[in-house]
Structure 1
Amino acid sequence: MSNVKLFWLDEEQFEELLPDETLISSEQKVLIEKNLSVLFGMKFVVRDYPMDQDVIDTLALDSNGSPVILMFRKDPLHSPVNRGLNAMAWLQGHLSEIRLLVMHHLGEKETLKLNLNQARLICLSDHFNDTEISTASLTSVDIELLNCRFHDENLLAVNRLNLPRLLQRLNPYQPRIDELLSQATPRQKQLYQEFKNLLTGLGDDLRVLVKENEIIWARLRNLATVDFSGATLNIRLNLPSEAVFLEEMAEDFMVNQADKANEGGVLLLQLNSSEQLLQSAYLIIRAYRIN
């Protein structure tokens, strides 16, 4: 169970904000669905979609075109992990149905981006027991467990659990990543390895995937998009414009792309050297923490 504690500072006095003791209500679930873009960088598709003997609580589409099943703990007796794994198995036999749902609710443009082979499962609950954590750790499904607790009426705490590595998962994108790296220059390869070392040193909760010719690093949301076009290592950081000060983008290799924020990040780093990567490290760490 999450041990995160929140406190409200009123003048010079701290007051602990106690979490709700109840499960996520249907009203709170709808609130989460309405804010999927802010919370997880996703677009809502449909709720309570019927499948064999159950429903998909929420179906969404992430910014990389992957369908995402979100399952909530509805009562103490039914595990969102078990329900979610059943939903993922059902989805594999109903891919054309998922495509039609995306077409109907989000339109042709989003349907063309759809990546049905890389579905994700997110389970949300106020707690997860040891059996659920072990089950999630042993499955080959792309699964994430999120502790979600409402505090009073206007505060939601979300904590992603780091699952123990009980099963060595193979990244399905690794062959494509290797192919892109084989086409990079020696300098680009070296800088990418240094960038990778920086991120993996921050935590083991990262996802790495490929979209066309770009390598995407993500946590709950995409945090960085990397490509090897030209002679530089190009890294777009997914940072909100208010999280970057103009004076922080004073270096020649930093490009302000606030007008292209919806394409993967407001700040483009065009790196030529390890020194430039080191100068940018605090911004990369900021993108990791925010996303």
Structure 2
Amino acid sequence: MSNLKVFKVRGRDVTEVPGEAVSVEAELQHLIEANMERMLGIRFLATEYRTGRHGGRIDSLGLDENGTPVIVEYKRAKNEAVIVQALSYLCWLQDHHHEFENLVRDKLGEEVAGDVDWSAPRIVCVAGAFTYHETVAVETIPHRIDLVVYRVFGDAVALQLVSATGGTRTSARGKISSSARTGAAAPKSVQQYLDASPRELRELYADLDELLLSHRDVQREPQLHYFSYRRIKNVATVRIQPRNKVLVVNLRLDPDAVDLCDGFTRDLRGLGSLGLQGDVVEVRIASREDLDRAAGLIQRSVETG
């Protein structure tokens, strides 16, 4: 994060605030664990979790906004093999679905535990810095790995996503669904809905996708029911409604700070939103004019992520 400069302003004078690493790794871990959902978009489950015969302790375990298991590891010095260590814990996680789901059940309830997405568990490594070779190496690893750099500026903490790999998804999504048990057809995926959409709606989604991905370090990740777009946290989710010829976009915005318009924007607080928690605004986009109208809201949501 050497390119990030922070200045304290007094009138017309500025003084640079030097960025620092924390003196003890545990300080960083405790800070993030206490604020994990706000800082990383991950619901905290456990700290220093013992992996039994596998050996070692996972720094933090969590569940992200898409229902995906997450291993979070921290390091302060450049010479710590934090990525290798996290990958070894991922091997344990993939062999202990039931144990992880019991942890989710105890912390977040039966419904959340029954919908854990095992198709692509994530690793998040948080450090004061990563070497060039580490950022290149993760590109060759077929797992979802985020490298997040932090700096402390006085009483403020800055986080920056320096690398995010999509990995390879499997078809696993938690428990066997009721449709699979009864022989009913499996639910259609968001990609299938998109493929079956009229050409005009596919083109409109392509324009929306281009707008979202034009922002630096935004990643697109297909989920079962929606496309998620994230930086460190999800900044937007997109569902396809071919029958209504509309894109339903959920944004991380305070509804009280948005001039809501019936039929175009809606306050989702208390109604639930796939992939986003807390303050969420729904935007319905049915035309290029709607997309142009929503561009400012999309920009604001990306900036919050």
Give the secondary-structure state (helix, strand or coil) at the position aligned to 2:62. Answer: strand
Q: What CA distance in whole angstroms lies between the structure 2 residues aligned with 1:72 and 1:255?
A: 39
Q: Aligned-pair distance for 1:126?
A: 0.3
Task: Tell me if the contact between 1:102 and 1:111 (Cα under 8 Å) persists in the aligned partners.
Answer: yes
Q: What CA distance in whole angstroms lies between the structure 2 residues aligned with 1:107 and 1:115?
A: 15
Q: Deviations over 1:25-73 (max 9, x none)?
A: 3133112111111112221100011222321100011111101110001
Give the secondary-structure state (helix, strand or coil) at the position aligned to 2:157. Answer: strand
* 1:222-237 equivalent positions in 2, closer than 5 A: 222-229=234-241, 230-237=244-251
Q: Deviations over 1:209-231 (max 9, x none)?
A: 214x3222222222222222323
2:94 to 85, 92, 95: 92
Tell me the TM-score normalized by structure 1. Answer: 0.86
- Which residue number in structure 1 is paired with residue 72 of structure 2? 70
- The range that moved more, 231-240 or 19-28, is 19-28
- The range that moved more, 21-30 or 102-111, is 21-30
- Which residue number in structure 1 is paired with residue 184 of structure 2? none
Q: Aligned-pair distance for 1:92?
A: 1.3
Give the secondary-structure state (helix, strand or coil) at the position aligned to 1:99. Answer: helix
- The range that moved more, 99-108 or 55-64, is 99-108
Tell me the TM-score normalized by structure 2. Answer: 0.83
Q: What CA distance in whole angstroms lies between the structure 1 residues aligned with 2:78 and 2:291?
A: 48
1:218 to 205, 230, 236: 230
Q: Is 2:255 aligned against 1:245?
A: no
- Which residue number in structure 2 is paired with residue 207 of structure 1? 220
Task: Tell me if the contact between 1:42 and 1:60 (Cα under 8 Å) persists in the aligned partners.
Answer: yes
Number of residue pairs aligned between Structure 1 and Structure 2 = 281
- Which residue number in structure 1 is paired with residue 130 of structure 2? 128
Give the secondary-structure state (helix, strand or coil) at the position aligned to 1:3. Answer: coil
Q: Deviations over 1:104-153 (max 9, x none)?
A: 2222132122112221100000000122112212111100000012222x
Give the aligned residue type for 1:140: P
- Which residue number in structure 2 is paired with residue 26 of structure 1? 26
Change (3 A) 1:105 1:259: closer
Change (3 A) 1:74 1:126: closer
Q: Deviations over 1:174-222 (max 9, x none)?
A: x9443121232322212111101112222354031214x3222222222
2:296 to 262, 282, 286: 282
Give the secondary-structure state (helix, strand or coil) at the position aligned to 1:143. Answer: strand
In structure 2, stretches of 5+ residues that fail to align are 172-187
Task: Tell me if the contact between 1:254 and 1:267 (Cα under 8 Å) persists in the aligned partners.
Answer: no
Task: Tell me if the contact between 1:79 and 1:132 (Cα under 8 Å) persists in the aligned partners.
Answer: no
Task: Tell me if the contact between 1:5 and 1:16 (Cα under 8 Å) persists in the aligned partners.
Answer: yes
Change (3 A) 1:53 1:3: farther
Q: What CA distance in whole angstroms lies between the structure 2 residues aligned with 1:146 and 1:227?
A: 28
Q: Aligned-pair distance for 1:103?
A: 1.6
Q: What CA distance in whole angstroms lies between the structure 1 residues aligned with 2:136 and 2:120?
A: 22
Q: What CA distance in whole angstroms lies between the structure 2 residues aligned with 1:5 and 1:56?
A: 33
Q: What CA distance in whole angstroms lies between the structure 2 residues aligned with 1:93 and 1:2?
A: 39
Change (3 A) 1:214 1:146: same
Q: What CA distance in whole angstroms lies between the structure 2 residues aligned with 1:135 and 1:26?
A: 26
Q: What CA distance in whole angstroms lies between the structure 1 residues aligned with 2:161 and 2:247?
A: 30
CA RMSD of aligned residues (A): 2.5
- The range that moved more, 263-272 or 219-228, is 263-272
- Which residue number in structure 2 is paired with residue 267 of structure 1? 281
